[in-house]
Amino acid sequence: MNPLPGTWQDALAHRRRHFDLQDPDICVRLLHAEDLSLRCDRFGSVCWFYEYASGAPAEARQLLYESFTRAAGAHHWHAHGMHDRGRDPQLGHHTESPGAPRSWHATENHQLFELRAASGQSPGLFLDQRDNRAWVRQHAAGARILNLFAYTGSFGVAALAGGALEVVQVDVSPPYLDWARVNAALNGLSSARVEYSAVDARLLVAGCHKKGRRFDGIICDPPSFGRGRGRNNRVFRVERDLAELVHECRAILEPGGWVLVSCNFEGWSQARFEAVVRGIGGTIESAPGAGQDCRAAGVPPLLKSCVLRLT
Ligand SMILES: C[S@@+](CC[C@H](N)C(=O)[O-])C[C@H]1O[C@@H](n2cnc3c(N)ncnc32)[C@H](O)[C@@H]1O
């Protein structure tokens, strides 16, 4: 076993105080901002290293990943290198431990998720949203929920598990929606309560408005930058388009309904983000936001979130 850097050992000790690393299926961030050259998430039996580097890891580095993986209670690792800090998803490299699975399952908030190694920078679940997903689960009973920018459908799965009457999962990418179907089925959640829509989020919301379709809860967690599709192939930029989209979401809410808004846009602080959402009108409530494992003293969390409620 290679000796681990002190900061990595401290990070593990901190996680052990708050999370059960003996749980073979646990999902937890193991390295957040403790080491500025990378992050590491554990998804059950696999540690996933997000490297901010332009070359594949040297052998000594790989041995370090192996030691850290074992010390964290996992068995395999994947290292996904992001050149340019991930701004260009096409630029990158991927390394893995011998025998590491290409797809596997892990548990978050008692729900199972499928993780996949060949899907880009992330294996399919953003752990900084764990507490926000738990919030959605708590607020979903009997509700009609719209999950915009659904990706692998994790917020929709949380809503279904919380007893939502109906969930609409929206993403421009059909393969991600297929993955969302797999995640719902893995949890035995009835497909009769879910609708999948491979369309631009702005078009979907405008269509609901036109048809008078209403929701009790909407999750709006867009990428900082995303390409539209079909009739709306206009690029989505958080700093330019978020306020307008949330404003339109507000128009398709039932009285007392909520929009959980979040983003990872580096150019905004939480205060600036909240000011943008507050400008839309309605009441602002705090959302749980990033959990213990995705925060570091003195480093503002990248994830910004809040709840807009229609009173
Ligand atoms: C940051 S992820 C969203 C994460 C997701 N909310 C979650 O809980 O894991 C971005 C997702 O938005 C989708 N997307 C990007 N632009 C879109 C658009 N204009 N309309 C709908 N989906 C879009 C992408 O395909 C991708 O799956």
How much is the pLDDT for 19? 97
**Together in a domain, 153 and 285:** yes
Residue 87 has pLDDT above 80, yes or no: no
Which of the pair, 151 or 297, is modelled with greater confidence?
151
Segment among 8-12, 53-57, 61-65, 131-135 with least mean pLDDT = 53-57
Ligand 1 atom index nearest CA of 229: 19
Long-range CB contacts (< 8 A, 24+ apart) of 246-250? Answer: 246/220, 246/277, 246/280, 246/308, 247/280, 248/202, 248/205, 248/206, 248/209, 249/146, 249/148, 249/205, 249/218, 249/220, 250/280, 250/281, 250/282, 250/308, 250/310
Burial of residue 214 (CB within 10 Å: 0-12, 13-18, 19+) is middle
Rounded CA-CA distance 43/117 in Å is: 11
Residue 120 counted as domain residue = no
Burial of residue 66 (CB within 10 Å: 0-12, 13-18, 19+) is middle
Ligand 1 mean position to 123 CA, how many Å?
14
Residue nearest atom 13 of ligand 1, based on CA coordinates: 149
Ligand 1 mean position to 176 CA, how many Å?
9
**Together in a domain, 54 and 196:** no
Give 120's pLDDT tier (boundaries 50, 70, 90).
Answer: confident
Ligand 1 mean position to 150 CA, how many Å?
6
**Together in a domain, 93 and 209:** no
What is the sign of the dihedral through the CA atoms of 236, 237, 241 and 245? positive
**Together in a domain, 249 and 288:** yes
Contact 253, 259 (CB under 8 A): yes
Residue 40 counted as domain residue = yes
Ligand 1 atom index nearest CA of 125: 9
**Together in a domain, 196 and 65:** no
Give 2's pLDDT tier (boundaries 50, 70, 90).
Answer: low
Contact 130, 305 (CB under 8 A): no
How many domains does the structure of the chain reveal?
2
Rounded CA-CA distance 131/29 in Å is: 13
Q: Which domain holds residue 290?
A: 127-309
pLDDT in tens, 274-310: 999 999 988 999 999 999 999 988 888 899 999 999 8
Which residue in the block uniquely carries the two structure tokens 């399919």? 124
**Together in a domain, 263 and 170:** yes
Count of other CB atoms within 10 angstroms of residue 265: 19
Ligand 1 mean position to 174 CA, how many Å?
11
**Together in a domain, 135 and 46:** no
Helix (H, G, I), strand (E, B) or coil at 292: helix
How much is the pLDDT for 91? 62
**Together in a domain, 25 and 145:** no
Task: Select from 125, 133, 151, 232 the residue to mutate for testing ligand 1; criterion: most ligand atoms less than 8 Å from CB.
Answer: 151
What is the sign of the dihedral through the CA atoms of 127, 87, 265 and 203? negative
**Together in a domain, 181 and 241:** yes
Task: Select from 149, 199, 204, 236 the residue to mutate for testing ligand 1; criterion: most ligand atoms less than 8 Å from CB.
Answer: 149
Contact 301, 290 (CB under 8 A): yes
Q: Which of 36, 67, 101 is the last residue of a domain?
A: 101
CATH assignment of the domain containing 145: 3.40.50.150
- Nearest of 288, 19, 309 to residue 132 by alpha carbon: 288
Ligand 1 mean position to 155 CA, how many Å?
12
pLDDT in tens, 30-55: 999 998 889 999 999 999 999 988 78
Count of other CB atoms within 10 angstroms of residue 37: 10
**Together in a domain, 70 and 170:** no
Ligand 1 mean position to 37 CA, how many Å?
26
Residue nearest atom 14 of ligand 1, based on CA coordinates: 149
Q: Has this prediction a pTM greater than 0.75?
A: yes
Residue 121 counted as domain residue = no
How much is the pLDDT for 235? 87
Residue nearest atom 26 of ligand 1, based on CA coordinates: 151
pLDDT in tens, 50-70: 998 878 889 999 999 999 999
Long-range CB contacts (< 8 A, 24+ apart) of 202-206? Answer: 202/228, 202/232, 202/236, 202/241, 202/245, 202/248, 203/230, 203/231, 203/232, 204/146, 204/148, 204/168, 204/170, 205/148, 205/245, 205/248, 205/249, 205/252, 206/248
Ligand 1 mean position to 149 CA, how many Å?
3
How much is the pLDDT for 206? 96
Residue 110 counted as domain residue = no
**Together in a domain, 97 and 131:** no
Residue 135 has pLDDT above 60, yes or no: yes
* Gyration radius from the chain CA atoms: 19
How much is the pLDDT for 230? 59
Q: What residue ranges line ligand 1, CB within 6 angstroms?
A: 126, 129, 149, 151, 154-155, 170-173, 176, 200-201, 221, 223, 226, 228, 236
CATH assignment of the domain containing 47: 3.30.750
Residue 119 counted as domain residue = no
DSSP state of 123: S
Rounded CA-CA distance 130/220 in Å is: 15
Rounded CA-CA distance 307/276 in Å is: 12
Task: Select from 111, 157, 171, 176 the residue to mutate for testing ligand 1; criterion: most ligand atoms less than 8 Å from CB.
Answer: 171
Ligand 1 mean position to 222 CA, how many Å?
5
pLDDT in tens, 227-247: 766 556 678 899 999 999 999
**Together in a domain, 97 and 216:** no
